[in-house]
Amino acid sequence: MSNKQFEEFYWPGLRAIFMAMIDEGLVPFPFAEGKYTRRLKQITDTPKSGVVWWFDQTDMAEAKKYLGNVSCIVGNVPTSIVKTGTVDQVKEACRKLIETCAPGGGYILAGGASIDKGKMENLKAMQESASEYGVYKKSKK
């Protein structure tokens, strides 16, 4: 679907659903499967903290740039690395995501897609990475 088609046909209906959910006190938590980078500017049109976006293969630096002041962002640890990579590869991917997405808050480390069949040592490496690199600290005033 082109950006124009997304903007004209897809986004208005999805946004209306999100707004109805938000009006009812719910927080939509859409999963943006595949690459969603070219849609990021369009999906900023929601209330601040109104939507939590879970991304699969989106450029997370761009997601943070566009959505960092609007929405919480989640995900993007590559499923392929969790399933077939090494512990070091998983930790490095997690570290990079946390360094890119966590500043200022609003990031949750998670797999880009289903990781239920990932190697146990890699799932543990994700958890360890979150503990090691992902601790939010209060700023000193």
Q: Which domains does the chain have, with CATH numbers?
A: 3-133 (3.20.20.210)
Q: What is the pTM of this model?
A: 0.89
SS3 for 118?
coil
pLDDT per residue as tens digits for the range 48-81: 999 999 999 999 999 999 999 999 999 999 999 9
**pLDDT for the residue 1:** 87
What pLDDT is stored for residue 140 in this prediction? 59
Q: For the chain, where are the alpha helices, taking DSSP H only?
A: 3-5, 11-23, 60-67, 79-84, 87-101, 120-133
Structure tokens at 66: 């566009």
Order of all β-strands in the sheet with 107-108? 31-32, 52-55, 72-75, 107-108
